[in-house]
Amino acid sequence: MKLSTRGRYGLRAIHYLAENEDNGYISVSDISNTLKLPENYLEQLIRILKKII
């Protein structure tokens, strides 16, 4: 199965949040820096994911 860039980044972000849920608040910039993803693009994905979840 092939995923789009948006799909891969979204899954990586969700996975990171799930692994670190006990750490409290996690900012988009923290996720971006840790996973080495573009922050602006990640912000757009998080907005979409918030609507879905």
pTM summary value: 0.84
* Predicted confidence (pLDDT) at residue 53 exceeds the cutoff of 80: no
Q: What per-residue confidence (pLDDT) applies to 28?
A: 94
Q: Give the gyration radius of the chain's Cα atoms.
A: 11
Q: Give Cβ neighbours of residue 9 (< 8 Å, ≥ 6 apart).
A: 37, 41, 42, 45
Q: Which helix (H) or strand (E) holds 3?
A: none
pLDDT tens per residue, range 7-37? 999 999 999 999 999 989 999 999 999 999 9
pLDDT of 50 reads: 87
Which residue is it, tokens 């840790």?
A: 34
What residues does each domain of the chain span? Answer: 5-50
Give the CA distances from residue 31 to residues 1, 5, 17, 34, in Å, rounded to whole numbers and listed in that order.
25, 16, 8, 5
